[in-house]
Amino acid sequence: MLGIQLLLTSVMPVAICRLALPRGSLIVSLAKKDSALLVASTLVIIALWLPAVLIGHSTIIAGERYWWLGDDAMISMRYARNLADGFGLVWNAGQRVEGYSNFLWTIYMVLVHLFPISVSKTSLVVLLTNIVLTIATIPIMIRLIRTLGGGTLVIVATLVAYALNEDVVIWTTGGFETSLLTFLLLLATYRVVREAQLNQPKLLTFILIAMMSLVRADAAVLSALLYAVSQVLNRNRKLVLMYSAISLILPIAHELFRISYYGDILPNTAYLKAFNWEGKYVAGLGYVLDFLKNYALIIGFAVVGVISSRQWSRYSLLGVFLLYAIYVGYVGGDAFSNSRFFVPVLPLLMILAFLGVQSLQPFSLAGRLWSLTKVLKFPSTATLLGLIIGGVVIVILSLGADLLGLGRQEGFGKKQLLGVILGLALALTVGSISCRLWLQHIRIWREVLLKAERQTKLPSVVFSVLCLVTTPLIIPGYTDLITPQSADIGNMRIGLFLKHGTPLTSRVADFWAGSVFYFSEGYAIDLLGKSDRYVAYLPVTSDGTKPGHNKFDFDYSLGILRPDFVVANFKLPVQEDQMLQAATGDWAFTGQLYFNPVFREHCLSNPVSADTWRTIFICDWSAQVHNKINWQPLSLSK
C-alpha cells in the first residue's frame, strides 16, 4: 500500500505537468482533437477509480466476494429488491413509507435485481454503472467548456481537477445517485447554453431538466434554477415557457404517485432532516462554510472570471451555484463530510474557475512587472518597499530564533530594540539597492517572461495548479480509497450473520439502515427514522447537528415495535463514563440507547457476539432468547 501511495504521489504531478504544459506537435493535436483528452481522462478514471470499486468496496466472506454501497445507498437497494420481489416499493412488506429520496436511481436498482445476479454482486453492478456515467460525463464537460469559450488548458485543468477530486470519487464509488445527477445537470446545462446561442430551444432539454428532480428529490431546486436560466438566456421565451410546462408533467406525475402511494407530499427523509429542527440553519451554515473553505480558490477564480467575462451565460451559471448553496444551508446541510450535496454542481464551479484563470491571461506577469517598474521610479516607493522587505526579514529572523530557542530567557530590552533598529536600517538599504537593480534589469526579465508566457501560458498554468492543489484530492491518501472500511465490512457481516442464523420472521432494530437490513433480508426497524414516519415527524431529541441522526425514540422503537434483535453501536464490555460521553453530541443515540430503561431491562443482558465492532442484543420478549446458546450461523470467516 505504501509503495502504491509513493508511486502515485511521485508520478501523478509529472503526468499533470506534461498535460498542462504540452509542447511541439502535441499542443496542435490537443487543440484540434478533444478526443485525445477524452481518452486520457477515461484511462485515468479507470486506473484510479476502478480499484476503489473492485477492492475498496468488497471483501471475501465464507469463500465468496461481496460488494456493498455506501450505507444510505443500501437503503435504496432494499426498496429496489422488495419491488423486484413483488412486495412493492416498500421498506417492509405492507409498510408504505418513502425512506429513499432518489426515485430514478432506485428504479434502476430494481432493474438490476430483476436479473439473475447473486446478492453478493448486485452492488458491483451499481458501482460499475457509476464509473460508466462518470466517463459519459467527460465529453459533456468538454463541450460545455468549448461552448463557454474555454481553451485546451481549461479543459485539461477541469478534467484533472475532476478526476482527482476526493469528494467526487468518494460519492461516485459509494454507489450514490450523484453520478447520474451530475450527468443530467451538465448535459442539461450544456444544451441550455448551446441552444440559447443558436436561439433553438428543444423539448428534450427541458425533459432532462425535469428528470433531475426524479433522480434526487431536492434536485428540484436545481431544476427550477435551470428553468430560470433558460428563460434568461433564450430570446424565444414563449417557446421556453411552453417546453417548461410540458416537461413538468414528469415531476407532477411523480408527486401524484408519492401522495397516492405513500400519503406524503415529501419523502420521509425530508421530514426527518429538515423539519422540527431549529438548529438546522446553524448546521447548514457550517456545512456551506466547510465547503467554501475547501474550495476557496476555485470559488474566488470563478467569481473573478464571471465578473470579467461580461457573459450572461456565465453570470447565470454562477447564480445557479450561489442560490443552490443558500438552499443547502437552509435545509441544514448533510450528515456526512466530503460535500455530497455540492458534488453535482462541482464540475460547473470548476469550469467557471478555470475559465476565470484563462481570462486572467492578458494580465500577464510580465505586464504586471512592467507596471511595477513605473511605480518604483519614485524614491519614496523604493524606500517603502525597502521597509516592507526589512519588516519581513525581521519577522522571519524572529520566528527562526524562536524556533531554535534563542533569546527566550531575556525580555525585550535595549539590546533587542537596537537589534530591530539595525535590522531595519540594513533591510532598508538592501531594499533600496534591490529596487535600483530591478530598474536596471527589468527590461531583460520582461522579455524573458513575455517569451515564456507566449510559449507556455505560464500564469494560467500557475493559477490552475494552485486551484487544483488547494482542493481535496485523492493523492495523497489514495490508499484509503482502496482499503475496505471496517465499519462497512462489519455491517455486512452482521447482516449475513442474522440472515443465516435467525428466522426470516425475526424483527431487527438498528441505526445503520443500509447493509445490515439489505443482507439480513428480514423485518427492519430503523431506529433513526429514515423509513419510520413516526420518528421522522418528531422534534429533535439530542443536541447533535447531523441531519437525520438527531431524532429517535427508543421507548417507541423498542417498547412498542418490540424487535427480536437490537444492533448497538458499541462492543461489550464498555465503561459507563465512556457511554455517558457517547450520549451527547452528533452520535448521542449510541450512548442514549445504552441508558434507555427499556433496552437495559429487556435487551442489555442478552448479548451475542458477531465478531465485529458492534454487538447484537436479543430482547427477552423474543422467542430467540431461549435459542441463543444453540445459534449456529454460517461461518463468516474469510
Q: Consecutive 10-residue runs of the chain (638 residues): their mean pLDDT?
A: 45 46 43 78 94 95 94 97 97 95 97 96 97 96 94 92 96 96 97 95 96 96 97 94 97 97 96 92 93 93 89 94 96 92 97 90 49 48 55 54 45 55 64 59 55 57 86 90 92 92 91 95 96 96 91 97 95 91 93 96 89 90 74 48
SS3 586: helix
CA–CA gap between residue 346 and residue 161 (Å, rounded): 10
Task: Kindly report the number of other CB atoms within 10 A of residue 637's CB atom.
Answer: 10
CA–CA gap between residue 263 and residue 282 (Å, rounded): 31
In 3D, which of 131, 169, 17 has the Cα closest to residue 474?
169
Which pLDDT does position 406 carry in this prediction?
45
Cβ 187 vs Cβ 133: under 8 Å:
no
Which pLDDT does position 441 carry in this prediction?
57
DSSP string, 206-266: HHHHHHHHHHSGGGHHHHHHHHHHHHHH-S-HHHHHHHHHHHTHHHHHHHHHHHHHHS-SS
Instruction: State the amino acid at position 379 in one-letter form.
Output: P
Which pLDDT does position 543 carry in this prediction?
87
Return the HEC string of 27-57.
Answer: HHHHHHCHHHHHHHHHHHHHHHHHHHHHCCC
Which pLDDT does position 404 carry in this prediction?
45
Cβ 621 vs Cβ 576: under 8 Å:
no
* Domain residue spans of the chain: 38-359, 365-455, 486-630
- Tracing cell 490508499 back to the chain, one arrives at 479
pTM: 0.82
**Angle, alpha carbons 217-45-480 (nearest 5°):** 85
- Tracing cell 442478552 back to the chain, one arrives at 606
Query: E strand or H helix at 522, and its extent?
Result: none
Which pLDDT does position 41 carry in this prediction?
92
CA–CA gap between residue 142 and residue 150 (Å, rounded): 9
Which pLDDT does position 81 carry in this prediction?
97
Which pLDDT does position 360 carry in this prediction?
75
